[in-house]
């Protein structure tokens, strides 16, 4: 009796199953390309990567005025308005008050302020809870990222008194 065919099927099945397991455990990612709004030339990229129950965010932004700038995920994935008002308010699926990223109570979309150097460049790395890289109730895909002209004061309601919206980008899955 020839055992070569059953062995070949078993090897192929094992390869297929390990391939599926790799696909299922891959960390979903998304990205937003920032474009200037409110008459600015601000640009940049924001990347999102699911890591277990947390989302890792990395941002690189250029063309800012030196200093701090509010930085948030907004509800709508629409940056078409010249002032980015089409992005609507902060992403807040938990219906919580605005606050500092990392505090017990804050919008899911509240991120740390960007800090631009003397050349107008800012980098940010943050780990976010209350979010997922997906399209569900807590998902960021299909929403937008907004950079503001002024720093977020983390107290003023509903949005931290961050001033005009100087850049916006729609978050898209990769």
The answer on pLDDT for 108 being more than 50 is yes
The residues, ordered by sequence, that sit 6+ positions from 107 with a Cβ below 8 Å of its Cβ are: 72, 90, 91, 92, 94, 96, 97, 98, 99
pLDDT for 10 equals 43
Q: Which residue has the higher pLDDT, 6 or 130?
A: 130
Q: What share of the chain has pLDDT > 90, as a percent? A: 59
Residue 88: pLDDT above 90?
yes
pLDDT of 12 above 80 = no
Cα–chain-centroid distance for residue 87?
14
- What is the reported pTM? 0.82
Q: Are 42 and 167 in contact (CB under 8 A)?
A: yes
Looking from the CA of 49 toward its CB, the CA atoms found within 13 Å total 10
């Amino acid at each position: 009796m020839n055992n070569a065919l059953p062995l070949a099927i078993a090897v192929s099945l094992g390869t297929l199953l390990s391939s599926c397991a790799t696909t299922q455990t891959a960390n979903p990612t998304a990205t937003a390309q920032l474009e200037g709004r409110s008459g600015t030339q601000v640009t940049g990229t924001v990347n999102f990567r699911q890591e277990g129950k947390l989302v890792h965010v990395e941002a690189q932004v250029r063309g800012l005025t030196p200093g701090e700038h509010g930085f948030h995920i907004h509800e709508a994935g629409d940056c078409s308005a010249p002032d980015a008002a089409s992005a609507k308010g902060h992403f807040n699926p938990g219906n919580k008050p605005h606050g500092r990223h990392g505090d017990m109570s804050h919008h899911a979309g509240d991120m740390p302020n960007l800090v631009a150097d003397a050349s107008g460049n800012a980098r940010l790395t943050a780990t976010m809870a209350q979010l997922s890289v997906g399209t569900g109730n807590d998902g960021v895909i299909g929403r937008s990222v907004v950079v503001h002209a002024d720093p977020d004061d983390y107290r003023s309601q509903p949005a931290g008194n961050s001033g005009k919206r100087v850049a916006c980008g729609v978050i898209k899955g990769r």
